[in-house]
Amino acid sequence: MYSFAEENYLKAIYKLQEHSDLAVNTNSIATSIQTKAASVTDMIKKLSDKKLLKYEKYKGVELTNLGKKIAIETVRKHRLWETFLHDKLKFAWDEVHDIAEQLEHIKSSELIDKLDEYLGFPTHDPHGDPIPGRNGVIIQSNFVLLSELKVGESGVISGVVNHSSVFLKHLEKNGLTLGKKVQVKEIGEFDQLVQLLLSTKESILVSNEVVKNILVKIQYS
């Protein structure tokens, strides 16, 4: 058995490595966990002693196979609970994360398998993140950042990079939610503000920071 804190660290390291093969440094983990670097160093030693991490001084940490297995199990539980809270209990997509953080530490694998079955074996959570299967396999998505689209190109909003409540509320307020089609109409040469055309034919102006945190599936005409 592993503690909630240990599972949280493994999950955080896994998510930091999800899109990169590079080792993760202490400061990145501290920012992700929202704690002090000294606390991270203590936990890294503990997880290394349990053979859950590989640590090289000045190079950072990597998950061992066992550490990755536990991290993926925790991620799976978290994303399934988020889906349940959003789809079945009708929590908003900016409300589900904190509750799922508590539920993800339930140990019963039978309960999680039943939850997965009850939800119809979903492949993505309410934020568009892939849900690992029971065997740990993740179906990778072909999503790209909205910021990568050129003027005239379109995409369907399929996920977000920033999961913070304030960001998700901002998207909700502007109608930029999952499944919505957007087209890049103009990109400001000076300030990089992006004009988007929504499927409702409404045009909105958003910052470069917003489009860097939205994932889309490209729509080809």
Looking up tokens 């966990």 gives 33
Whether 46 contacts 6, CB under 8 Å:
yes
CA–CA gap between residue 101 and residue 136 (Å, rounded):
19
Residue spans per domain, the chain: 4-63, 144-219
Q: What is the pTM of this model?
A: 0.84
| 207-210 long-range contacts, CB within 8 A, separation 24+ | 208/147, 210/170, 210/171, 210/176
Supply the DSSP symbol for 130: B
Domain 144-219: homologous superfamily in CATH: Ferrous iron transport protein A (FeoA) (2.30.30.90)
Helix (H, G, I), strand (E, B) or coil at 197: strand
pLDDT of residue 18: 75
Q: What is the pLDDT of residue 21?
A: 67
Is residue 79 within 8 A of residue 99, CB to CB? The reply is no
pLDDT along the chain (221 residues), means of 10: 91 83 83 88 93 87 94 96 97 94 94 97 93 89 92 94 92 93 92 90 93 91 62
pLDDT of residue 34: 85
For the chain, what is the largest distance between any 2 Cα atoms, rounded to a whole number of angstroms? 57
**Contact partners, residue 31, CB within 8 Å, separation at least 6:** none
The predicted pLDDT at position 110 comes to: 96
Domains 4-63 and 144-219 share a fold: no
For residue 203, the one-letter residue type is: S
- Cα distances from 204 to residues 2, 199, 201, in angstroms, run 47, 11, 10
4-63 folds as Arc Repressor Mutant, subunit A (1.10.10)
